[in-house]
Amino acid sequence: MAAQTRGVALRLCTLGFLLGVAFCKGFVEDLDESFKDGRKDDIWLVDFYAPWCGHCKKLEPVWNEVGVEMKSIGSPVKVGKMDATSYSSIASEFGVRGYPTIKLLKGDLAYNYRGPRTKDDIIEFAHRVSGALIRPLPSQQMFEHVQRRHRVFFVYIGGESPLKEKYIDAASELIVYTYFFSASEDVVPEYVTLREMPAVLVFKDGTHFVYDEYEDGDLSSWISRERFQSYLTVDGFLLKACGYCSY
């Protein structure tokens, strides 16, 4: 039934876009000055836009589809948009410097979205950032599920330690880009051999690599380097993330 509802909603949204009828705008809330004080108990995905901005106008139908999908799957994330020129003080408080700016707001935290402006990529970002910072993997079955679903992800193995604290700090900074998990040693595949515990691993490209503080340096910097697959289709967003261009 949920899938049927989602399909009908998305078809209406697409039809509305083609005919110029706003069937799907009801799934995106127009935000005003009351948003600042009323949002504390909710998680919000917000598009800060300017009415005259061409990129904002191009994003609008995609954003409406995001609202439809998040509503239809029962996501706890609310989808909204704010005219940052009309409510410039609020936009400035959230660190909006250009248009459109997409942010996920969770409690006192604000996460910037810098990926491709597609429905699927934006929703993936919302799911990742709105969930737990570090997600436990309680079983081998769950680990295998994560391997099938994610092309790159990081895992902390072990108990409380200074390394875990560094891992949490890194996850707080980099959750906008990748997934962070924790597991016990008996959950990871048998082919994974650890020389010492605790440990941080990255799984990607059909293999894995173990973080070595002496060889790899700062943990956050290592994660920033390893969060990319070895072979990727290069586009403007990837180049910007790698620091090769600015625009």
Q: Which residues are catalytic?
A: 53, 56
Task: Report how far residue 154's alpha carbon sits from residue 133's, in angstroms, rounded to the nearest whole number.
Answer: 12
- Candidates 30, 26, 27, 39; CA nearest to 84 is 30
CA 1 remoteness from chain centre: 27
- Find the helix packing angle between 219-226 and 162-174, rounded to 10°: 50
